[in-house]
Structure 1
Amino acid sequence: MLKKVLAFCIIPLLIFCAVPANAAGKEQRDWQSQNVYYLIVDRFNNGDDSNDYNTNTKKDLSFQGGDFQGIIDRLDYIKDLGFTAILLNPIFDNDSNGYAGDRITNFFKTDEHYGSMKKFQQLVKEAHKKKMKVMLNFVTNQISPDHPWVKDPTKSDWLKGKTKDGMIVLNQNNPDVNQYFIKAGKWWVQKTGIDGYYLSNVEDAPISFWKDFNSAVRSVNKDFFLLGDVHTNNVKTIKTYEQAGFDGFYDNPQNQPLRNAFSNINESATSLMDIVKKNKHTYNSDTINAIYFDNPYMTRFTRDMVNANKYPGTRWKLALTYMYTQPEMPVMYYGSEIAIDGGNAPENRKMMNFRADKDLMDYMTQISDLRAKNPALVKGTFTPLYDKNGMTIYKREYKGDINIVAINNTNSTQGISIDASQFKGDKELHGLLEGGIIRTDNGKFKLVLERETSEIYRVVDKTGINFGFISVLVIVWVLFFAFIIAAKKRGKRNAN
């Protein structure tokens, strides 16, 4: 009897408390909401010693043993950091110096150092089981000097010349070359079930080729994601390739301003605010661009911090706050979660050692989770509210959900007031990173942030006194005391 009464009293309270007020829910993930982890297979994790052909971990330009099995073994590690997609370097068969995948000798075969086609198919399946997508870097502009085409007289018009490092440049004005790559592009989608391509050096091929290639690939999978990389900082030039059917582009024009803004203290973010505005008015509304700090072809972002004599952990946290709350799809180069340092290649392609930088890794997980749970941080409008000498505040709004992002990249505590009248109704701000509630004071919200910190606020209805919750508590206590009194009376009757 006692258990039944207690259950009757407590269950309503639990139900009432279990429904969070103003909670934002997860929406189905599209590509704009993905967080992408970019890795080099050979430099990530060695999970199978049987394919370690002529590996040498002491030489930066040699294969070092990373493989498909190693990625499979670490999928949970990647997912736990908040990543929902992985981007792999070219995995096609390479010559003996092609650890990074860009010295290709056969486009229809996996490199033996990485593992078999069967093993790669297993990798894709295991990733999909964990609701993670898989993208490949698909090369169309060059091949290894050891590729059979180089010595084939019937393919002489397929070749165009050499790069400075001896790679063979392909003639992408040749229809036969283009048909070959269209066939290969479709084949990998059909054979493996991958979800997208990262297509570099887009400018090396005519737009007509990309129209045919992208259309052909989508004939296999209509939802296949095509991310182009046009090597220019001219936004208008990049935009011309929208007509070729790309879903989005690497935001190269934003990269250097992004690195400049967060590698040092007291740096203005004005250029970033301007880029967001310019992109909105330049690209089609459904174009999904990718934001990045570094990649295999440039110095590590951490190197900028080291050169500025700044602590990387603090710098990375501020940078991540911006990266995960601005409108574009984040692409993170492997090792950034532990602030790996490195100069130009091959120094920026060291073997991953998985030493824990728990503080930074936990922050990456936290900020990823907030991005997933707050649709406004992904799809919302972007409105700058304050921007001065490293103190930046902006608003993201989507379907009535509003987030305020504040980043204090200065050497002192900042207190900034923002007008509460821009929000409909009586509102308050709930901190999502550090917690806390900010209520209006004379029609203003005063945001106070210590130096080199950030906060993401959710704009919610003012809570005030929660009469519903108090009523439930009163009812529970009344029922409880009524039960105690009844029990005592029954005990006395039984005693008599």
Structure 2
Amino acid sequence: MKKITLLLLTFLLCSSLPAHAEIKKENRLWQDESIYSLMIDRFNDGEIKNDLDVNAKDPLAYNGGDFQGIIDKLDYIHEMGFTAIRLTPIFDNTKNGYHGYWVKDFYKTDEHFGTIKTFQKLVKEAHKRKMKVIIDFVANNTAADHPWVSDPSKRNWYHPKQNMDNGTKSWVDGLPDLNQDNPEVNKYLIDAAKWWINKTNIDGYSLPELNQVPLSFWTDFSKAVKKEKKDSLLMGVPTEDAAIDAAKYQNAGIDSVFDYTQSKKLREAFATTNQSFSDLNSVSVQDGKPELMAKFLDNEYTVRFTTDIVNKRQFPGSRWKTVLTYLYTTPGIPIYYYGTDIALIGGKIPDNRRQMNFRTEKDLIDFTTKVAELRNKLPSLTRGNMEMLYDKGGMVVYKRVYKGETAIIAINNSTKSQKVVLTDKQLAANKELRGLLGGDLVRSHKNDYILIIDRDNSEIYVLADKSGINITFIAALVGVVILTLIFLLFIIKRGKKMRVE
């Protein structure tokens, strides 16, 4: 009897939810993905035998994270709704190159992270979960003690240490700067990139120091990589605060670029409340593809966004929930830096690269999972055009439309409840808005839709036909009531019988 009642209750709840045209995994575009970005050494230690020269108390030394540690946590990442992971460089590094950017051998994995066999297993396990894998490929420099540096025959493989043609220092952070205009260097780097794709079946590369490398090289690089694997993603990571023309790189074959300008605007708008969205909404990519731009709050180079929040004396949980709603529902590919799931705090390098901690409260993880689920199910959130409907006093409402599906996103980034009235001209007449994040329901009344959003709260609606009288819902409800009464009568009758006996 109890099982039947529970089944009816489950049916009752499911019958009230709207149906959506979820994009099938095999038909997904890169703009449909959401990426969990992690620093291998700081994420999870899964294999003790790799712990060579590890000192978990030293932020400038290896801390123990490895490929096996990532494999062990793939379900954790997948269950939060992520469809791809991005890893810092996996190549063999010089001493204390925990971050991966001091490459000493482009054809070997770093011994602290594990063998190439374990990395191949990582890619296979990710693919089993329909998750893609991209890794950082360092094309700008090598380690200071790379064998090429002391090889006289490879003197022309590097730029002079000072004064390049553009008047800047060529050796950024003292690292030997590769001369990609040299045909031998060009070929070596491209051959290495092709080799890793064929050897491990990764799905693309993120490219640090993008703006420090000639555009002509990236044109050659992108053509070669995509010839090996057509749907590979190339994601450029320019130096922080660099003023670059993203469209120029996209035209050269770099699909996506980390948008530091947008990131700065996001941090300013969401670190505290009652901020205007006007500057944020005015940011655009000149003649580029905004749907492929990498959207992020922080990464391995920046101060953690949680630090901004704390400095503003705000509560990290609510601030992160609000900004993630915006990040997941506007054009672009969300890049979610490891530790966001626990609101990890951190200052400048290396403080922003603290170890991940999995023993924390699940509130932010649960919210990430929910908003990711909606992004994965609603094509309008990843492919739809975007139109701003309301922007005032920290309250913003916009819509995304794709093939007949309309999503309305309402974000209240203020300190008080907000009321917004939308008209049928902005939406459609005689419809209803069904809230999927918080369960709100707004029906049109005299051609208006009245949205009331609590402070520090958000809602993601879909526009649907008015539900009216739901016969199935009522029938299920009546059935539950009847079964409950029968069950109660059975208990009472049984109790009387036991007392007589």
TM-score (norm 2): 0.87
Hey, what does 1:132 align to over in structure 2? 131
Aligned pairs for 1:82-481 within 5 A: 82-160=81-159, 161=161, 163=171, 165-231=173-239, 237-275=245-283, 278-279=284-285, 282-284=287-289, 288-466=292-470
**Structure-2 change in CA distance of 1:348 and 1:449 (3 Å):** same
| CA distance in structure 2 between the aligned counterparts of 1:309 and 1:16, rounded to whole angstroms | 43
**Structure-2 change in CA distance of 1:465 and 1:110 (3 Å):** same
| CA distance in structure 1 between the aligned counterparts of 2:475 and 2:126, rounded to whole angstroms | 48
Q: For the Cα contact (< 8 Å) 2:42–2:356, is it kept in 1? A: yes
Q: For the Cα contact (< 8 Å) 2:15–2:472, is it kept in 1? A: no
Residue 208 of structure 1, CA deviation: 1.9
Q: For the Cα contact (< 8 Å) 1:411–1:452, is it kept in 2? A: yes
Q: For the Cα contact (< 8 Å) 1:425–1:461, is it kept in 2? A: no
Q: For the Cα contact (< 8 Å) 1:236–1:282, is it kept in 2? A: no
| CA distance in structure 1 between the aligned counterparts of 2:466 and 2:11, rounded to whole angstroms | 21
Residue 471 of structure 1, CA deviation: 8.5
Q: For the Cα contact (< 8 Å) 2:193–2:225, is it kept in 1? A: yes
Q: For the Cα contact (< 8 Å) 1:22–1:461, is it kept in 2? A: no
Hey, what does 1:489 align to over in structure 2? none
Q: For the Cα contact (< 8 Å) 1:232–1:253, is it kept in 2? A: no
- Would you say 1:31 and 2:36 are equivalent positions? no
**Structure-2 change in CA distance of 1:450 and 1:38 (3 Å):** same
**Structure-2 change in CA distance of 1:157 and 1:462 (3 Å):** same
Residue 370 of structure 1, CA deviation: 0.7
Q: Percent identity?
A: 46
Which 10-residue stretch deviates more, 86-95 or 416-425? 416-425
Aligned pairs for 1:59-78 within 5 A: 59-78=58-77
Residue 433 of structure 1, CA deviation: 1.2
Residue 67 of structure 1, CA deviation: 0.4
Residue 219 of structure 1, CA deviation: 1.4
Q: For the Cα contact (< 8 Å) 1:173–1:205, is it kept in 2? A: no
| CA distance in structure 1 between the aligned counterparts of 2:12 and 2:394, rounded to whole angstroms | 42
Q: For the Cα contact (< 8 Å) 1:229–1:249, is it kept in 2? A: yes
| CA distance in structure 1 between the aligned counterparts of 2:392 and 2:288, rounded to whole angstroms | 27
Unaligned runs of 5+ in 2: 162-169, 482-501
**Structure-2 change in CA distance of 1:80 and 1:55 (3 Å):** same
Structure 1 residue matching 2:174: 3-state secondary structure: coil
Structure 2 residue matching 1:460: 3-state secondary structure: strand
| CA distance in structure 1 between the aligned counterparts of 2:242 and 2:102, rounded to whole angstroms | 29
Hey, what does 1:488 align to over in structure 2? none
Residue 232 of structure 1, CA deviation: 7.3
Residue 365 of structure 1, CA deviation: 0.4
Q: CA offsets, 1:464-487, max 9 Å, x none?
A: 22357668999999xxxxxxxxxx
| CA distance in structure 2 between the aligned counterparts of 1:234 and 1:104, rounded to whole angstroms | 23
Q: For the Cα contact (< 8 Å) 2:399–2:407, is it kept in 1? A: yes
Hey, what does 2:494 align to over in structure 1? none
Q: Larger C-alpha radius of gyration, 1 or 2?
A: 1
Aligned amino acid, residue 20 of structure 2: A
How many residues align structurally? 464
| CA distance in structure 1 between the aligned counterparts of 2:22 and 2:375, rounded to whole angstroms | 9
Residue 190 of structure 1, CA deviation: 0.5
| CA distance in structure 2 between the aligned counterparts of 1:19 and 1:402, rounded to whole angstroms | 21
Cα-Cα RMSD: 2.5
Q: For the Cα contact (< 8 Å) 1:337–1:357, is it kept in 2? A: no
Aligned amino acid, residue 64 of structure 1: N
**Structure-2 change in CA distance of 1:106 and 1:13 (3 Å):** closer
Aligned amino acid, residue 312 of structure 1: P
| CA distance in structure 2 between the aligned counterparts of 1:474 and 1:143, rounded to whole angstroms | 71
Residue 22 of structure 1, CA deviation: 4.4
| CA distance in structure 1 between the aligned counterparts of 2:289 and 2:46, rounded to whole angstroms | 42
**Structure-2 change in CA distance of 1:33 and 1:202 (3 Å):** same
Unaligned runs of 5+ in 1: 1-6, 478-496
Aligned pairs for 1:38-53 within 5 A: 38-53=37-52
Residue 165 of structure 1, CA deviation: 3.3
| CA distance in structure 1 between the aligned counterparts of 2:78 and 2:352, rounded to whole angstroms | 23
| CA distance in structure 1 between the aligned counterparts of 2:297 and 2:279, rounded to whole angstroms | 15
Aligned amino acid, residue 206 of structure 1: P
**Structure-2 change in CA distance of 1:15 and 1:332 (3 Å):** closer
Q: For the Cα contact (< 8 Å) 1:230–1:238, is it kept in 2? A: no
Hey, what does 1:483 align to over in structure 2? none
Aligned amino acid, residue 67 of structure 1: D
Which 10-residue stretch deviates more, 52-61 or 243-252? 243-252
**Structure-2 change in CA distance of 1:472 and 1:243 (3 Å):** closer
TM-score (norm 1): 0.88
| CA distance in structure 1 between the aligned counterparts of 2:173 and 2:223, rounded to whole angstroms | 33
Structure 2 residue matching 1:185: 3-state secondary structure: helix
**Structure-2 change in CA distance of 1:420 and 1:143 (3 Å):** same
Q: CA offsets, 1:428-450, max 9 Å, x none?
A: 11111111311123321111111
Residue 12 of structure 1, CA deviation: 13
